[in-house]
């Protein structure tokens, strides 16, 4: 009988620690951004590329960058976000600029994969065809209110040129760049 008191106290302490762990993990999950680069429709290069906010809180998209890796081994970078002046009467500023607030469950259309690749090639003066592109890597830098530093997401898409050009994600997941060690990479 004298062991029941200490044993029940120990069991109760373990139960409280488990509850505390569950509450902390739920809090972290709810306050962490989760961004996805989504390949809409099919493997066609004319399919839409979307940036989707699957987190519980809104984020502010600062910049989206495309890195094109050529079959020759060259790499070319360009911002997908627009920094041009726009007309004040523009109806959908966010879709024009490809930046700004993105509510939870919301998405931002970045254009088609072909548009992103061709715009990058045009900006740098590269005269190459779609078949010369091996990989497209997209990165986003966002401001997430609970975070002290910018956070980001990164996903690569491989272009295969067997019977026409097809675009496939390299991985099933978008890499979330939310840790302190990712801070400098996101800031670049």
User: DSSP letter string over 60-115?
Assistant: EEEEEEEEEEETTS-EEEEE-S--S---TT-S-HHHHHT-EEE-TT-EEEEEEHHH
Cβ burial, residue 68 (10 Å; 0-12/13-18/19+): buried
> Rounded to whole angstroms, how far apart are CA atoms 48 and 27?
33
> Rounded to whole angstroms, how far apart are CA atoms 131 and 159?
8
Q: What is the pLDDT of residues 150-169, one digit of tens each?
A: 889 999 999 998 888 899 99
Ramachandran sector of residue 34 (left: φ over 0; alpha: ψ -120 to 50; beta: rest): beta
DSSP state of 150: -
Confidence of residue 86 (pLDDT cuts 50, 70, 90): very low
Q: What is the pLDDT of residues 21-32, one digit of tens each?
A: 998 888 877 778
Q: What is the pLDDT of residues 37-81, one digit of tens each?
A: 998 888 889 999 999 999 888 888 888 999 999 988 888 888 887
Q: What is the pTM of this model?
A: 0.77
């Amino acid at each position: 009988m004298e062991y029941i008191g200490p044993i029940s106290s120990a069991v109760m302490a373990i139960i409280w620690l488990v509850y505390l762990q569950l509450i902390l993990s739920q809090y972290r999950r709810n306050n962490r951004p989760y961004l996805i680069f989504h390949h809409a429709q099919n493997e066609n290069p004319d399919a839409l590329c979307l940036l989707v906010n699957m987190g519980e809180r809104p984020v502010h998209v600062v910049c989206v960058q495309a890195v094109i890796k050529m079959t020759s081994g060259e790499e070319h970078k360009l911002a997908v976000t627009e920094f041009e002046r726009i007309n004040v009467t523009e109806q959908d500023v966010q879709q024009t600029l490809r930046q700004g607030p993105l509510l939870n469950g919301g998405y931002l259309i970045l254009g088609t994969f072909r548009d992103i690749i061709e715009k990058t090639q045009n900006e740098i003066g590269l005269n190459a065809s779609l078949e010369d592109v091996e990989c497209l890597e997209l990165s986003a830098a966002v401001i997430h209110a609970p975070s002290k530093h910018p956070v980001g997401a990164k996903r690569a898409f491989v272009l295969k040129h067997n019977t026409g050009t097809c675009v496939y994600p390299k991985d099933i997941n978008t890499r979330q760049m939310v840790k302190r060690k990712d801070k400098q990479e996101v800031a670049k």
